[in-house]
Amino acid sequence: MKEALEKAYPDGVERARALFMWYGRGVGVWSGFPAYETIAEDALMDTPIDGVLRALQGPSLSRPLLEGAARLLAGRSFATTYGHEVGSLPAELRQQLLKVGMETTNTDRIERAKAAFSS
């Protein structure tokens, strides 16, 4: 799968954006989801952190991309490995990610978003 992704998206930033879009289209809550959704998470976690963060730069980030980014960056795997990197994101982006995370009635997702993106 890694080879197929690299062939389809040779640019690491574009690959990370595609993975965020995939991860952002998951069904249900951010925790307790179908196992196949971990494929996108695993691929993003295997992406160099600078590529992941550069994928979040730009004026027009789509809703699915922001959803996938919020889900990854508020998740336990990312927090354990790169949690300190969230603080280096621009405040405006953190606010966008917080907003996406709060647009639910799921308390787990809301708490994860608050913990990761609140100032």
Give me the DSSP letters along 13-75. HHHHHHHHHHHTT--S-SSS--GGGHHHHHHHHTS-HHHHHHTT-SS---HHHHHHHHHHHTS
- The model's pTM is 0.88
Dump pLDDT digits (tens) for 43-99: 999 988 888 999 999 878 999 999 999 999 999 889 899 988 898 899 999 999 999
Token pair, residue 111, equals 């708490």
In the predicted structure, residue 104 carries a pLDDT above the cut 70: yes
Dump pLDDT digits (tens) for 17-38: 999 999 988 766 666 677 777 8
Q: What end-to-end distance do the CA atoms of the chain give, in Å?
A: 37
Rg (CA), the chain: 13
Token pair, residue 46, equals 């295997």
pLDDT for residue 30 = 66
pLDDT for residue 26 = 74
d(CA 88, CA 62): 21
- Interacting residues of 52 by C-beta distance below 8 A, sequence separation 6+: 16, 44, 72, 82
